[in-house]
Amino acid sequence: MIRLTRLKGEEMIVNVDLIKLIESTPDTLLTLSTGDKLHVTESPDEVIARVIAFKRQIYGAPIVQAEALS
């Protein structure tokens, strides 16, 4: 779950597993797998960054093996 801001300034919490599509129209429009559409003030890049941060918090950061570095 990530915190996002509606265009009117209200905070909401969105289930990241329901996000199907992120568009810039020029506001950011999230389309959920339920068919609901949400306009938010955050940029698409910010939404993506929050989703990645949330997933890293849940699953942990990727482990880099020594062979991959050489």
Find where tokens 């890049």 sit.
45
Burial of 32 (0-12, 13-18, 19+ CB in 10 A): middle
Domain that holds residue 29: 2-69
Number of domains in the chain: 1
Find where tokens 């482990």 sit.
63
* 52 vs 27: CA distance, rounded Å: 21
Dihedral sign, Cα of residue 15, residue 19, residue 24, residue 27: negative
Tell me if 37 sits within 8 A of 29, measured CB to CB: yes
pLDDT in tens, the chain (70 residues): 999 999 999 999 999 999 999 999 889 999 999 999 999 999 999 999 999 999 999 988 777 766 655 5
Whole-model pTM? 0.82
